[in-house]
Structure 1
Amino acid sequence: MKQLVRVLYLVIPKSDSGNLEKYWSEFIAFGFKQALSCIFPAFIFCMLVVSNLTTIPFLPRYDFLLIACVVMQAIMYFSKLESGMELLVITMFHVLGLIMEIYKVSMHSWSYPEFAYTKIYGVPLYSGFMYASVGSYVCQAWRWCSLKIINWPEFIPATLVSIGIYVNFFTHHYAYDFRWVLTLLLIIIFWKTKVIFTTNNIKRKMPLVLSFLLIGFFIWVAENMATYLGAWKYATQHEGWKMVSLGKISSWFLLIVLSIVIVIQLKFFRAYNKKQ
């Protein structure tokens, strides 16, 4: 992987002559690093394409996807693309995501219509890896883009708003949907928080809330591709594929907040323990 990075990095144009060329070079390098960060999500997408085009006798599609995800996760760990701590974080996302999947499917928010041996309450186990892939992206982006956070909020408000987001995904079926209240709260809590990223040895920063929104949008784009390939189906898609509602962007926006808070809080906790 390191050799591949070196080779590909050499083809990225680097020039200080002219602002346009400089920004173009930086943009390409940024896109390259984002692609490296998306290695696990991209793999899942490729497996969705493969499993959509071919079938394996006696091996249901969802079971094939589970095996593929487990193998890829093992490869990433043993090749040191992911550390033990990152694997722990990703496993947390898998468990949290699988719990939410079981609940959401029971509430008929979406479904997995195909047969699989590895289903629990109608949910194939591979689905947890789709949440894990979001955690993998956050961990990989932290490394490739040399991310640094400034003005991170206090532990308690950041944690409470994250818990509130996760709980609201369950309770809004029975009670008031607090997503917009939670959105307002997290904007207030993270108003001063910035993320610094490095591309071509140039440091840039952006409001963390804006990064939440951008990542949420691109996950929504990926969700449209995934549902088109039959990864799962919303109620409106059983008679034919339809674009996922734009309102889902707000759900992914909130979910990525939960993901990033978990990653950063654990990194801060680990750094604190090392100092002791």
Structure 2
Amino acid sequence: MQTSALHLGLHPVSAATLCQGRRSQVKQSGWTLERFSRHLPRMIQTDQNPNRTRRLERTLGDWMRARLPFAVAEFVMFTLKQGWAAIFGILLLGGLLISDRIWQPDWALARYDALLLYALGLQVLFLAAGMESWREVRVILLFHLTGTVMEIFKVDAGSWAYPGDGLVKLWGVPLFSGFMYASVGSYMARVIRLFDMRFAPYPPLWLATCLAVAIYVNFFSHHFLPDIRLALFVATVVIFIRTRIWFYLGGQAYWMPLPLAAFLSSFFLWVAENVGTRTRTWLYAGQDSDQWVSIAKMGSWYLLLYVSFVTVTLVVRDALSHTPYRPVTPTDVRQSPASATPPPEVQ
């Protein structure tokens, strides 16, 4: 079985065989949209159970592969799983949009305080539903703390501001803002688990940690010392250029270079930044709410993602490999004799 980068698609033989096999399985099992929607709530009671998560993915994947071209179905599945991994952040952004539309200045509860209660409620719900483990929550709490410290410093330095009122503020920073950073940690922890990701070959831990510390410190020190972010951009590529993010979708292995994944993720975080400013939840210095956030903020998020990733590796150390990773061939894919190869071992 050959594997490929995400944009190159599946191995031709395995793709055709898998598509044909999945279509026949769907027809035999009688899966319909009505039946799928009836079983969906029970199947997503907890995504901490790997078997249940795979069963949900297989059910939804079978239904779509019977109705869509194989490549389109795989892309839709990838998008849906990414959205499910980012559900905490998506719900937070939804809270910003809805509260901006409905909140009145004469209400007893300030909008920022309501957003804090909303974010706390989401976190409790995720724990109660088993969507996050206590081990993951501890790391997410670290995101919250490091993010809040940065917020306090940046607001004091005049980089951005929170124009609304609120009782629960710390040096001008509403405490719900820390959950925006925590949502990034939640996404990373969940996406690694949901996609069964492997990062290989991963650089030495001390080197990755030193890079993360240098990036975080530079967010503060560039106000007083020369800004070294250009050197940090180069360092991220040099250190992680060989690192591939391996992930599984429908039993098929794909990979993407880690720096490319960080760049693409920074774009979506830039989009989220615009949601925050359009709703006047926060505003950058000299910016009006109807103006787009500077595209340069993508660079800041690109660097901050490496800090986030190294932090998450505190609880997902088993996903790291210092040697190249060779994915296991899926057992449910029947290869032709000419293309069949023995399953490689995971290093």
TM-score, with structure 1 as normaliser: 0.91
Distance 1:10 1:198, change over 3 A: closer
CA contact 1:12–1:25 (8 Å) conserved in 2: no
The reply on whether 1:156 has 2:206 as its aligned counterpart is yes
Question: In the alignment, what sits opposite 1:101?
Answer: 151
Alignment of structure 1 residues 13-28 onto 2, 5 Å: 13-14=64-65, 21-28=69-76
CA contact 2:61–2:73 (8 Å) conserved in 1: no
CA contact 1:12–1:29 (8 Å) conserved in 2: no
The reply on whether 1:52 has 2:100 as its aligned counterpart is yes
For the residue of structure 2 that corresponds to 1:149, the secondary structure is strand
Distance 1:174 1:260, change over 3 A: same
* Selected match of 1:67 from 117, 120, 134: 117
Question: In the alignment, what sits opposite 2:86?
Answer: 38
* Selected match of 1:131 from 156, 174, 181: 181
Alpha-carbon separation, structure 2, partners of 1:152 and 1:67: 39
Alpha-carbon separation, structure 2, partners of 1:267 and 1:72: 23
The Cα of 1:236 is off from its aligned counterpart by 2.5
Q: Which has the higher helix share?
A: 1
Alpha-carbon separation, structure 2, partners of 1:150 and 1:10: 27
Aligned-residue Cα RMSD (Å) equals 2.1
CA contact 1:236–1:242 (8 Å) conserved in 2: no
The Cα of 1:185 is off from its aligned counterpart by 1.1
Alpha-carbon separation, structure 2, partners of 1:254 and 1:196: 21
Question: In the alignment, what sits opposite 1:274?
Answer: none
The reply on whether 1:229 has 2:269 as its aligned counterpart is no
Name the aligned partner's letter for residue 237 of structure 2. I
Q: Which runs of 5+ in 1 are unaligned?
A: 272-276
For the residue of structure 2 that corresponds to 1:198, the secondary structure is strand
Alpha-carbon separation, structure 1, partners of 2:65 and 2:186: 29
Alpha-carbon separation, structure 2, partners of 1:130 and 1:122: 16
Q: Deviations over 1:138-182 (max 9, x none)?
A: 011112211111111101110000000000000111111111101
Alpha-carbon separation, structure 1, partners of 2:61 and 2:73: 12
Distance 1:196 1:21, change over 3 A: same
Name the aligned partner's letter for residue 222 of structure 2. H
TM-score, with structure 2 as normaliser: 0.73
CA contact 1:12–1:28 (8 Å) conserved in 2: no
Distance 1:150 1:10, change over 3 A: closer
Alpha-carbon separation, structure 2, partners of 1:237 and 1:192: 39
Question: In the alignment, what sits opposite 1:259?
Answer: 308
Alpha-carbon separation, structure 2, partners of 1:173 and 1:264: 29
Name the aligned partner's letter for residue 65 of structure 1. L
Question: In the alignment, what sits opposite 2:266?
Answer: 216
Question: In the alignment, what sits opposite 1:82?
Answer: 132
Question: In the alignment, what sits opposite 2:43?
Answer: 3
Alpha-carbon separation, structure 2, partners of 1:175 and 1:2: 55
Q: How many residues align?
A: 267
* Selected match of 2:191 from 131, 138, 141: 141
Name the aligned partner's letter for residue 3 of structure 1. M
CA contact 2:198–2:319 (8 Å) conserved in 1: no
